[in-house]
Amino acid sequence: GPKYGPMKLKPEQYHGAIYDVWPARTGFLKKPGEWNTQEIRADGRRITVTLNGAVIVDADLDQVREPDVLKKHPGLARKSGHIALLGHQAYAEFRNLSIKELP
């Protein structure tokens, strides 16, 4: 929303990004108050985020090599873990949420 403005967030903090690690393409969110459709696919170390039909992240976590990022996010070395959907201390709603295991 407008309260975050383009100068307050880093590219790797925008909607759909792997937070503080990998930026997402922008320009595909619907207006505030409208529902978005998003799919997050974690296939091994490859993470793909599709927002409203557009791929906004296609990341290979093995390509993350910046020492500061790796130090700040040691969980990047894991092959499994938890799922978290986070916001910037603002109210968020989710619906029709499902988690499926890949074959």
- For residue range 21-49, list pLDDT tens digits in order: 999 999 999 998 899 999 999 998 999 99
Tokens of 47: 């993470």
Tokens of 3: 């309260």
- How confident is the model at residue 5, as a pLDDT? 59
Cα separation of 87 and 4, whole Å?
Answer: 12
- How confident is the model at residue 47, as a pLDDT? 95
Cα separation of 41 and 54, whole Å?
Answer: 13
HSE-up (13 A, CA, CB side) for residue 42 = 14
pLDDT interval class at 66 (50, 70, 90): very high
- How confident is the model at residue 13, as a pLDDT? 87
